[in-house]
Amino acid sequence: MPTSSPVTQKRPPLGEILVREGLLTISELSAALAYKQEHGLKLGQALVALRLVSQADLARALREQGAVHCLHLTSEIVDAQIARELGAERSRQMQAVAINKIAGIVTVALEDPTDGFALDALSFALGAPILAVHADPERIVRCIDHVFGPVPTQVAQAAANVEAEVPAVPTESLDRAAARALDGVMEDALAAGASDVHIEPRAAEIVVRFRVEGVLLNWTSIARSWAQPLLARVKLLGNLDVGERRLPQEGKSRAEVRGTQVELRVATIPAVHGEGAVVRILDCGRRLVDFAALALDEHQRADLERMTTGGGLVLAAGPLGQGRTSTLYALLQRFDAVRKKLVTVEDPVEDRLDGVLQLEVNARIGFDFPRAVRSALAQDPDVLLIGEIRDRETAETAVHAALSGKLVLATLHAAGAAESVTRLTDMGIEPYLLADALRGVVAPRLVRRLCPQCRALEATTAEQSARFAPLVLPERVHTARGCEHCGYHGFRGRIALYEVLAIDGPQWEAIRTNEPAHVLRGLSRARGVTSLREDGLAKVIAGETTLDEVHAATARG
């Protein structure tokens, strides 16, 4: 296959150009030529290796020579679909990135576009003729990371050191290597901002994945021969029984990773291909979100303030990991811990709160949620936070405490605000008791926040308009692009969408008469309550997130 166009006129030597421009002396050129010959390099590679010229100076000289086209490479000009045709392994091995495909010709950026062997290999791999251009190697690496994700340096390096020798090395050496590999995984996870590390056994390898901003990302893979020593180190990390491989185990510990104090919660499970594990990472020094910082509109904020004035039951409803506990923590911080008794019952305690009596459930010794809640009420609290209502006994205790004048804040696994009411009645709570106890429900959903440095406006599509109907979309909305500031993901952090349902007269009557969830939703709409989808659209218009993020979080909302 053809590669790049042949050059028909004689080019001035590269060394001559550099000497003429005052970038290189004759003696330095002689040294570089000797180094080139000794190591089998191109002259440009030898000059950079000896640090005689910079990449930028070399690029300018090559451009003047007429040997190459030079490109200021950025992720914005890379077509990820075309780049993926080259593949992650080959892109990293050849330090090349496919940029686009025009008229059947693929433009490829690499450090040395005069390397005929590399050009032939790239053309063969892509199945098309190529136009080779020079780009700064660091920019090439950044663009490869943008398309395929960053290379997991810590664990890969540790694994590479001994992987080939695993069958021959002593157990003690392998254990030390596994410890280094796990340390590398945890350091990579913290650097990536991961909330969870998934270690998953497969038939031929161990796959490590990170959950970053709610999304699982493949990070690296490790040889199957590492399975036993690696999982043993994971168990030690969670203070678990290393010898028990038949039953699931859960544990926790505190550690210092990259100078940061973290709490690690470890859960292992036996599977067909061996044991797997999930390690949740909690930053002990993270700053809690206060009530003023919650992403609420003025009506939602006012409703929540009214709901938490006086006694009653206030629920945070939604799936696990969607900001329920963080929202209740923010509400709890509104109260003066000096003048009021604040107690929490959690499994486990998420964050340490000053001035708050926090109880941690321990089912192994019989201190389960019902017993812990009863014990908490014996402490005469003004405000009681229940980590989750999971059963009828806990629900009944919470409702009776709310009816007695306590303010009870609790999370509940439910599809939405209205569904939380039917969830409690399905547990066996009498509707007339629930109607009198319930002050309101807040339903948060977390979506990824757009990176402000690289977000871009694009026209909305007919498909998007149909998906969000009957809501009316603006003509243009922000979308994710990716840049150095956000690790080329297009997002930085997360933001919550909220629906706040305050119980008023019509809704109280609907709960008392055990009406289904859709009736409560209809009453909310009639009252003008902002739905999750509407709140999400408002945040899309504000440039904080995308339509795709909102749709994924609220498709049933």
* Tens digit of each residue's pLDDT (9 = 90 or more) over 128-181: 888 888 888 888 888 888 787 766 555 555 554 444 444 444 454 556 777 778
Label residue 441 by pLDDT band (50, 70, 90): very high
Contact (Cβ atoms closer than 8 angstroms) between residue 206 and residue 200: yes
pLDDT at 108: 92
- If you write DSSP's letter for every residue of 146-206 in order, what string do you get? HHH----HHHHHHHHHHGGGTTTS-HHHHHHHHHHHHHHHHHHHHHHTEEEEEEEE-SSEE
Instruction: Tell me which H or E stretch contains 216.
Output: strand 215-223
Torsion of CA 81, 83, 84, 87, to 10 degrees: 170
pLDDT at 157: 52
Q: With bands split at pLDDT 50, 70 and 90, how would you rate the model's confidence at 104? A: confident
According to the model, what pLDDT value does residue 360 have?
A: 92
| Residues 314/407, Cβ–Cβ less than 8 Å | yes
Per CATH, domain 14-148 is 3.30.530.20: no
Helices (H), 208-355: 227-237, 298-307, 324-332
pLDDT at 466: 93
Q: Span 17-26, mean pLDDT?
A: 85
Lowest mean pLDDT among 17-26, 291-300, 379-388, 402-411: 17-26
Two tokens at 480? 């994710």
Q: pLDDT, tens digit, for every residue of 462-481?
A: 999 999 999 999 999 999 98
Residue 240 reports pLDDT greater than 90 = yes
Question: What's the pLDDT band for 56 if we cut at 50, 70, 90?
Answer: low
% of the chain residues with pLDDT over 70:
90
Q: Which CATH number fits domain 291-554: 3.40.50.300, 1.10.287.3510, 1.10.357.140, 3.40.50.720?
A: 3.40.50.300
Query: What per-residue confidence (pLDDT) applies to 164?
Result: 42
The beta strand positions in 474-543, using DSSP E, are 476-479, 491-502
Residue with more model confidence, 12 or 4: 12
Q: Is pLDDT of 546 > 50?
A: yes
Sheet holding 260-271, edge to edge: 215-223, 205-212, 194-201, 274-283, 260-271, 249-257
The whole-angstrom separation of Cα 326 and Cα 316 is: 10
pLDDT (mean) for 438-445: 97
**Lowest mean pLDDT segment, chosen from 160-164, 296-300, 325-329:** 160-164
Lowest mean pLDDT among 213-227, 353-367, 492-506: 213-227
Angle between helix 517-527 and 505-512 (nearest 10): 180
**Are 523 and 505 contacting, i.e. CB atoms less than 8 angstroms apart?**
no
pLDDT over 80 (residue 116):
no
pLDDT in tens, 241-280: 999 999 999 998 888 877 778 889 999 999 999 999 999 9
pLDDT tens digits for range 373-385: 999 999 999 999 9
Neighbour tally for 355: CB within 10 Å: 12
Q: What is the CA radius of gyration of the chain?
A: 30
Comparison of pLDDT for 203 and 36, the residue scoring more? 203
> Identity (one letter) of the amino acid at 405?
G
- Banded pLDDT at 556 (limits 50, 70, 90): low
The number of C-alpha atoms within 13 Å of 59 and in the hemisphere containing its C-beta is: 16
Q: What percent of the chain has pLDDT over 90?
A: 49
Q: For residue 174, what pLDDT is reported?
A: 58
Inter-residue contact 211 to 196 (CB < 8 Å): yes
Most confident of 78-92, 126-140, 181-195, 421-435: 421-435
Report phi then psi at 39, rounded to 5.
-105, 5
Distance CA 365, CA 239 (A): 17
Q: What are the residues whose beta carbons fall under 8 Å from the beta carbon of 96, sequence distance 6 or more? A: 86, 90, 108, 109, 110, 118, 122, 140
10 Å CB burial of residue 296 (0-12, 13-18, 19+) is: buried
Tell me how far apart the alpha carbons of residues 476 and 316 are, in angstroms, rounded to a whole number.
Answer: 33
pLDDT at 553 over 90: yes
Q: How far apart are CA 495 and CA 517, in angstroms?
A: 26
User: Does residue 183 surpass a pLDDT of 70?
Assistant: yes
Query: Tokens at residue 477, please?
Result: 């909305």
**CA gap 132, 98 in Å, rounded:** 9
CB atoms within 10 A of CB 64: 15
Q: Single out the residue of 128, 104, 106 nearest to residue 2, CA to CA.
A: 128
Q: What would the two tokens of residue 170 be?
A: 């002593």
Q: Choose between 488 and 328: higher pLDDT.
A: 328
Q: Domain ranges in the chain?
A: 14-148, 153-283, 291-554
Any idea how long the chain is? 557
Average confidence (pLDDT) over 36-41 = 77
For 277-296, write each residue's pLDDT tens digit. Answer: 999 998 876 777 889 999 99
Q: In this structure, what token pair is assigned to residue 258? A: 């990259």
- Predicted pLDDT of residue 449: 95
Residue pLDDT, tens place only, 220-229: 778 787 888 8
Q: Which CATH number fits domain 153-283: 3.30.450.90, 3.30.2320.30, 3.20.20.10, 2.40.280.10?
A: 3.30.450.90
Per-residue pLDDT band at 78 (split at 50, 70, 90): confident
- pLDDT, residue 499, reads 96
**pLDDT category, 123, cuts 50, 70, 90?**
confident
CA distances (Å), origin 8, targets 5, 41, 67, 115, 445 = 9, 24, 11, 17, 63
Sign of CA dihedral 423, 427, 432, 433: negative
